[in-house]
Structure 1
Amino acid sequence: MHCETIVLGAGIVGVSTALQLQARGRKVVLIDRQQPGNGTSHGNAGLIERASVIPYAFPRQLSSLLRYAGNQQSDVRYSLKYLPKASPWLLQYWRYSGTKGLAAATRAMLPLVEHCVSEHDLLSAPAGMDHLIQASGWVEAYNSPPAFAKAQRDAAALMDYGLNYEILDRDQMHARQPGLHSSVVGGIHWLDPKTVSDPGGLTRGYAELFIKRGGMFVLGDALSLRQRVGKWEVQSEQGLVIADEAVVALGPQARGIFEPLGYDIPLAIKRGYHMHYAALPGTRLQQPLLDPVGGYVLAPMVGGIRLTTGIEFADSQDPVNEIQLRRCEALARAFYPLGERLDAEPWLGRRPCLPDMCPVIGPAPRHKGLWFNFGHAHHGLTLGPVCGRLLAELMTGAAPFTNPAPYSAERFN
C-alpha cells in the first residue's frame, strides 16, 4: 500500500493533521492500533480552551511546594516510588516555569490558542459534528471569598489578551447554575471557549470526514515504523504501508518512535482520570464547571456528568489508583449534586507533556521525511486542528501562519 504520507496516531492531533494534509493535496494513510478517538482524546474535559493563554506552570511559591509535599491534595498527586524517576523532568519543568520561561511559553503558545476555535469550526461543520459543540463557555466556581477575590485580580491581569468573561456574584452564580451548594460565593464565566459533549465522538467524526474525502484509516502497529531505501514503512492489518513521509502524532506513545532513532526529547506523562455520574432528578449542569482549588472539572457529556481530575505523577503503566478521583469526587459533591457512578471503573488517560510547556511540531532533524506533532499536554483537544494546520503548512512548503521555531525538536539539543 503506497501513499505520500503516513500519519501515526488517530487521536485528535493525528486525525486533524491527516485532514490538514489531505486538504493540501496529500494522499494520506492514517494508522493506529485502535479506532480513532479511543485514546487520550476520549477522556478529557471537552474544552476548546481559548481562554488558557497562560500555560500550566510548575508552582514556584514555597507555600505551594510545601502544600504539595504532603501528597494529600486533590489537584496533584504523585507516586512515591515513581518520584525518583520523575525528578529530573520535574526539575526541568520547575526551571522553565520561572518568570522568563513562563513568559516565553506564553508568547509561543498564544498564536496556537488564538486560532484554536476557528480551526475547529472549519472541521466541525463539514464533519456534521456541530451538535457536539456548544458556544456557552465554561465557569470557574469558588466557595472561598479570598480565592474568588484573587481569581478576579488574575482575570483582570489578562486584559491585554482580549478575553471575554463575566464576574458572577453569589446570586448571579446560583441563577446561572441552579443546584450549586450554598457555600459557592461566586464565579467567573469564560465566554470565548467552546465545549464538546463527546470528545471521542468528535475525533471519530473528524476521522469519518477524512475517509469521506478519500483518506484511508488502517489498524496497525505504529511502533513498527522503519526507514528503508529512502521510504518509511509501517505494518498494518492490511499489509505494509509505504510512504515518502511519516508524521509521529502518537501523543504519550511518541517516545517509542523518536527514542530508538536517537532523539533526546524530554517527553513525560501526566496521568489523569475521569468518571461519569448520573444527574439527579430535576437538575441539569449547564456548562463545564471548574473548581480551581480542588483541581477538577465537572462537564455535561453524552455519557453523563464527567468528572475529570488534575495531575497524577506515576509510571505510565501503573494500574488505576482511585485516591485522586475519590478526593475530587468528595469535593465535587460538596459543590454540585451528583448521582451514582455510571462507569464500572475509572478511565485513566495519559497526557504527553514537555517541560517548557510547548509541543514538538516540525521535522525530525536527522531523518528526511519524518515529522513530529506531539506533546500537547492538557490541550490536545484544543490544539489538534491548529497544530495540524501548522505542520501541514511546513510539510507542503506553504508560509506558516506563525513562527514554528518555538516548537522545534532541536530546542532540547
Structure 2
Amino acid sequence: MKFDTVVLGSGIVGVCVAAHLQKRGRQVALIDRKLPGNETSFGNAGLIQREGVYPYAFPRELSTLLRYARNRSPELRYHANALLKTAPFLWQYWRNSHPAKHAAIARSYATLIEHCVSEHRALAAEASASELLRASGWIKVFRTEAAWDAETRVAEKWHREYGVAFEALDAARLQQAEPNLAPSLSGGLRYSASHSVSDPNALVTAYAKYFEALGGRFFIGDADSLREGWELDTQAGTITASSVVVALGPWSDRVAKRFGYDLPLAVKRGYHMHYAPQPTARLHHPVLDVEKGYLLAPMARGIRLTTGAEIALCDAPKTPLQLAAVEPVARTLFPLGERLDDEPWMGRRPCTPDMMPIIGPAKNQQGLWFAFGHAHHGLTLGPVTGRLLAEMMTGEETVVDGRPFRVERF
C-alpha cells in the first residue's frame, strides 16, 4: 500500500494535518494504535482559546515556587522521581518564562492563536460538525477582589497588545450569566471571542470522518515500526510513503529520537471526571476557578471537572490526587451531583520548554515532518497547525510565518 504521506497520530493535530493534506490532493494514511481522538484529545477542557496569546508560563514568584515545592497545590503536583529527569526541561521553561522572553514568544505564538477560532469554524463546517462548537466564550471566576483586579489588568494588557476581547463581570453580572454558581464570588472575566466544544472526542471523530470522506484512509498501526524509506506496519499490512508526519503528542520524541532528533519534550498530565448536575442546575459556560486551580465545563456527558498540571513521567501510573482535592471545592462552586465515570481519566499534554509547538520539516531527514508540542493548546491549535503544515509540505504560501516553530530552534 503506497501513499504520498503517512501521518502518525490521530489526535486533534494529526487528524487536522491529514485532512488538510488530503484536501490538497495528497493521498494520506492516518495511523494510530487507537481510534481517532481517544488519547490526549479525549480529555481536555474543550476550550478554543482565542485569548491564549501568551502560552502558559512557569511561575517565577518565590512565594508561588515555595508553595508548589510543598506539593499540595491544587493547580500543580509533581512526582519526586520525575523531577531529576525533567530538571533540564524545567530550568529552560523557567528561563523562557522571564517576562521579556515570554513577551517575545507571545509575538510569534499569537500569530497561530489569531486563527484558532476561524480555522475550527471552517473545518467544522466542512465536516458537518458545527453544532459541536459553542460561541459563547468561557469565564474565569474569582473568590477575592485582589485576584479579580490582578487578572483584569492582565486581560487589559492582552487587549491592548493583541485585541483580545473580554468582558469584566462584577458579582451581580456574574450571577446573571451563571445563576447556579456560588453567590459569594467577587467577579469574573468572560473571554467572549473564544469558543468551547461540547464533546472534544466527537469533534475529532467528525474531522477524521471528513478526512475519510475526502478519500483518506485510517489504519490501526504501530508508529514504533517506522523504518527508513518511510515504511511501517499496520493491521492491514505494510504501508510505504514518500513523507511522514510525526504528530504523536507526548510520544513524538520517542520516534523523533530514532531519526536523530533528541528533543526537549516533557509532559504535563491532567485528569477529569464527569458529574451529573443537581436537578434544575445548569452551567452555561466553561468556568475556571482561578484561585483553586480547576475548571468545570458543560459537556455532552455531564459536567466535566478538569484538573491543573501534574509533572510526572509520561507513562507512570495514575495519581489523581488533584482531582480528589478539588472535587469538594468544586461542589461549593456549583451544585454537582453523582460521578458519572467509573474512574478518573488521565491525559498527557506534550510540552516544549519555550512553550511553542514544533511544526515543520526535519532538515536532516528527507520527507520527515513534525507537528507536536502544543501543551495546553492542542485542541485550540489543531486546525491552524494542520493548515500551516499542509501548506509547508505542498509549497503554498503559508497562513502564518512558520519559521518560529521549526525544530532547528532546539
TM-score bracket relative to the smaller structure: over 0.9
Question: Residue 170 of structure 1 corresponds to which residue in structure 2?
Answer: 171
Question: Residue 308 of structure 1 corresponds to which residue in structure 2?
Answer: 306
C-alpha separation in 1, matches of 2:236 and 2:159: 53
Large movers: runs of 4+ above 2 Å: none
Is 2:92 aligned against 1:99? Answer: no
Deviation of 1:139 (Å): 0.6
Deviation of 1:158 (Å): 1.6
Is 2:378 aligned against 1:377? Answer: no
C-alpha separation in 2, matches of 1:263 and 1:74: 35
C-alpha separation in 1, matches of 2:320 and 2:164: 36
Letter in 2 for 1:209: Y
Question: Residue 360 of structure 2 corresponds to which residue in structure 1?
Answer: 362
Is 2:144 aligned against 1:144? Answer: yes
> Would you say the 8 A contact 2:143–2:291 is kept in 1?
no
- Between the aligned residues of both structures, percent identity stands at 52
Question: Residue 22 of structure 2 corresponds to which residue in structure 1?
Answer: 22
C-alpha separation in 2, matches of 1:87 and 1:331: 31
Q: Secondary structure at the match of 1:168?
A: strand
> Would you say the 8 A contact 1:101–1:356 is kept in 2?
no
Deviation of 1:275 (Å): 0.5
Deviation of 1:145 (Å): 1.3
C-alpha separation in 2, matches of 1:295 and 1:132: 26
What per-residue deviation string (whole Å, max 9, x for no partner) do you get for residues 42-90 of structure 1?
Answer: 1000001101111100111111111111111100011122212221111
TM-score by length of 2: 0.98
Question: Residue 407 of structure 1 corresponds to which residue in structure 2?
Answer: 405
C-alpha separation in 1, matches of 2:364 and 2:243: 13
Q: Secondary structure at the match of 2:347?
A: strand
Question: Residue 241 of structure 1 corresponds to which residue in structure 2?
Answer: 239
Alignment of 1:112-151 (within 5 A): 112-151=112-151
Question: Residue 2 of structure 1 corresponds to which residue in structure 2?
Answer: 2
> Would you say the 8 A contact 1:13–1:385 is kept in 2?
yes
Question: Residue 159 of structure 2 corresponds to which residue in structure 1?
Answer: 159
Letter in 2 for 1:187: G
The 10-residue stretch of structure 1 (365-374 or 151-160) with the greater mean CA deviation from structure 2: 151-160
Letter in 2 for 1:373: A
C-alpha separation in 1, matches of 2:403 and 2:52: 21
Deviation of 1:99 (Å): 2.2
C-alpha separation in 2, matches of 1:317 and 1:364: 26
Q: Secondary structure at the match of 2:399?
A: coil
The 10-residue stretch of structure 1 (287-296 or 304-313) with the greater mean CA deviation from structure 2: 287-296
Question: Residue 73 of structure 2 corresponds to which residue in structure 1?
Answer: 73
What per-residue deviation string (whole Å, max 9, x for no partner) do you get for residues 255-286 of structure 1?
Answer: 22111212121000110000001110010110
Q: Secondary structure at the match of 1:158?
A: helix
> Would you say the 8 A contact 2:224–2:255 is kept in 1?
yes
C-alpha separation in 1, matches of 2:310 and 2:53: 23
C-alpha separation in 1, matches of 2:216 and 2:50: 29
What per-residue deviation string (whole Å, max 9, x for no partner) do you get for residues 228-266 of structure 1?
Answer: xxx311111110110000000100110221112121210
Structural RMSD (CA) = 1.0
Is 2:59 aligned against 1:59? Answer: yes
C-alpha separation in 1, matches of 2:299 and 2:384: 24
Letter in 2 for 1:331: V
Deviation of 1:118 (Å): 0.7
C-alpha separation in 2, matches of 1:120 and 1:159: 22
C-alpha separation in 2, matches of 1:131 and 1:12: 17
Letter in 1 for 2:145: P
Deviation of 1:405 (Å): 1.4
C-alpha separation in 2, matches of 1:377 and 1:158: 20
Deviation of 1:100 (Å): 2.7
> Would you say the 8 A contact 1:296–1:307 is kept in 2?
yes
TM-score by length of 1: 0.97
The 10-residue stretch of structure 1 (268-277 or 177-186) with the greater mean CA deviation from structure 2: 177-186
Question: Residue 209 of structure 2 corresponds to which residue in structure 1?
Answer: 208
Deviation of 1:223 (Å): 1.6
Alignment of 1:381-396 (within 5 A): 381-396=379-394
Letter in 2 for 1:206: Y
Is 2:277 aligned against 1:276? Answer: no
> Would you say the 8 A contact 1:299–1:307 is kept in 2?
yes
Question: Residue 346 of structure 1 corresponds to which residue in structure 2?
Answer: 344
C-alpha separation in 1, matches of 2:131 and 2:273: 23
Q: Secondary structure at the match of 1:242?
A: strand
Question: Residue 183 of structure 1 corresponds to which residue in structure 2?
Answer: 184
C-alpha separation in 2, matches of 1:80 and 1:256: 23
| Unpaired segments ≥5 residues, structure 1 | none
C-alpha separation in 2, matches of 1:373 and 1:266: 14
C-alpha separation in 2, matches of 1:127 and 1:400: 22
